[in-house]
Amino acid sequence: MEKNVKMKDIKELGEQLGELQRVCREKKIPVMIAFEGYGAAGKGLQIGNLIQALDPRGFKVYAVKNETEEEWMHPFMWRFWTKIPEKGRIAIFDTSWYRRVMIERFEGKTPEKELEKDFESIRAFEKQLTDDGMVIIKLFLKIDRKEQKKRFEKLLAFKEYKAINEEMLRKTDADYAPWTVINATKKKEAKVAVYQAVIQAMKEAVARKELEEKGSLEKKTEMKRETAESILAKTDLSKSMPKEVYEERLKELQKKMEHLHGELYRRRIPVVLGFEGWDAGGKGGAIKRLTSHMDPRGYVVNPTASPSDTEKAHHYLWRFWRAMPKAGHIAIFDRTWYGRVMVERIEGFCTEKEWKRAYGEINAMEQDLVNAGAIVLKFWMQIDKDEQARRFKARQENPKKQWKITDEDWRNREKWDQYEVAVEEMLEKTSMPHAPWIVVEGNDKYYARIKVLECVTEAIEKRLKEERK
């Protein structure tokens, strides 16, 4: 009964919540709280109640409505990836990423054939974040039909609406991100239930964090190859191209790329191109030739450096999601999210558990991009050790190119064998039919640049042909 809910109890719960917010901030535990529920169930009221107990400097509330034009032109999870909180902060969502499989589904805006992909994206999103230490608290406010009619004059098709919600709860209830269903008919009792659910989840997160801190030292494992066969060893680095042939072919392909870029824009097809490879492997040269005749308004080249403090305070994929292209545009990455399983793995910037988990996380992200209609290609620029030494020396001796060579390049060269192990495993575990790795024979720069252009134009032409069917 409402009258049995004592203000004293609510005050005590509020104090607990405020204290837990401070502890989470100190221990850099990020929290996401999603409020979902039946129409007129009182999400806004309960969010208002919740934030009364919180320090306003440590949270942000997002009211999720219909997608803006900018959001509509990105993968549907993009607008939520861009809103995940920094470590130690709280993000509260008045309706959330579940809008796609609830409200928009009920309204007929979400095609039934896309539904399972949407559920897959949601589960992957929550799993990736919680594995990284995010606390995801999902609260579903429930009222009966009679109460909904009382609060909401325009009664929805309740049975259909209820069935959609129940299916959503069933398909997305997981140990790492469970649903808490709250009877919101009595507002004060619902307030207590919300407080208790959030407090319990934050207490458990703090306890986990303290256990992790006690056993934080992780043994560094020896770098050894897990793949059965060397992919890089099979690369024929003797492949070359005469300069005259290169120049003629380059003109043809750049003209073709100029035309295809326009077609991509008209058909609203996004493209994601990732470039990795050995230092001095020719990434910059290939990107320069690829973009030479493209409309600069329709592409962005993202050079990936060491993460900033703000980027380190988020999930490692956050900074890449923010740079993903909208429909009809091209995003080119000079170094990519694969740094997690290469440089971060080798240099010890992440734990073994983290980089091993990253293969699945990366595959899931790329699948999301493809589900949204993107063309995804990844290039590994392969050269041998001798060719790298020649290029390093040439850069050192050329005053105009000395900026291209750093002490870090020489240090990385000393770890060539370790990087080779990591690259082999990366290629084997993350080259998928929908997002393939293309190993580019790079000892001859002319051949390498043409191969990149050919692969990109062929992939675009293939997609355009499929679109016309």
Q: What is the pLDDT of residue 1?
A: 42
Cα–Cα distance for residue pair 371/349, rounded to 1 Å: 31
Question: What distances in angstroms separate CA 89 from CA 22, 32, 321, 364, one per listed residue?
Answer: 10, 9, 20, 25
What is the token pair recorded at 467?
């679109």
Q: What is the pLDDT of residue 212?
A: 87
Q: Each residue of 158-192: b (16+ CB within 10 Å) or e? A: eeebbebbeebbeebeeeebebbbbebbbebbbbb
Q: What is the pLDDT of residue 161?
A: 82
Please check whether residue 410 is in contact with residue 389, taking contact to mean a CB–CB distance below 8 angstroms: no
The answer to whether the Cα torsion of 369, 371, 374, 379 is positive or negative is positive
Which domains are present in the chain? 2-212 (3.40.50.300), 232-468 (3.40.50.300)
Please check whether residue 165 is in contact with residue 208, taking contact to mean a CB–CB distance below 8 angstroms: no
pLDDT along the chain (469 residues), means of 10: 66 96 98 92 95 97 95 95 98 97 91 93 97 97 73 62 92 97 93 97 96 68 60 95 98 98 97 97 97 97 96 97 97 98 96 96 97 97 96 89 83 92 96 97 98 98 90
Task: Specify the pTM.
Answer: 0.91
DSSP secondary structure string for all residues of 175-218: TTB-EEEEE-SSHHHHHHHHHHHHHHHHHHHHHHHHHHHHT---
Question: How far is residue 453 CA from its own chain's centroid?
Answer: 27
Q: Give the residue carrying structure tokens 């034009």.
A: 69
Under DSSP, is residue 272 helix (H, G, I), strand (E, B) or coil? Answer: strand
What is the token pair recorded at 23?
């502890």
Cα–Cα distance for residue pair 135/19, rounded to 1 Å: 16
* 229: number of Cβ within 10 Å: 9
Which one, of 348, 368, 349, lies nearest residue 360 by Cα?
Answer: 368
Question: What distances in angstroms separate CA 231 from CA 256, 337, 376, 444, one per listed residue?
Answer: 31, 21, 20, 19
Give the pairing of strands 31-37 and 271-277. unpaired
The single-letter code of the amino acid at 19 is: E
Please check whether residue 87 is in contact with residue 313, taking contact to mean a CB–CB distance below 8 angstroms: yes
Angle between helices 352-371 and 115-131 (to 10 degrees): 160
Cα–Cα distance for residue pair 337/321, rounded to 1 Å: 10
Q: What is the pLDDT of residue 150?
A: 61
Q: In a 10 Å sphere around its CB, with 0-12 CB exposed, 13-18 middle and 19+ buried, how is residue 271 labelled?
A: buried
Cα–Cα distance for residue pair 198/201, rounded to 1 Å: 5
Instruction: List own/partner pairs for 13-16 with CB under 8 A and 24 or more apart.
Output: 13/53, 13/192, 13/195, 13/196, 13/199, 14/52, 14/53, 14/195, 15/53, 16/195, 16/199
- Give, in degrees to the nearest 5, the angle at Cα 89 between 313 and 321: 50
Residue count of the chain, please give it. Answer: 469
* 276: number of Cβ within 10 Å: 23
* H/E segment holding residue 382: strand 375-382
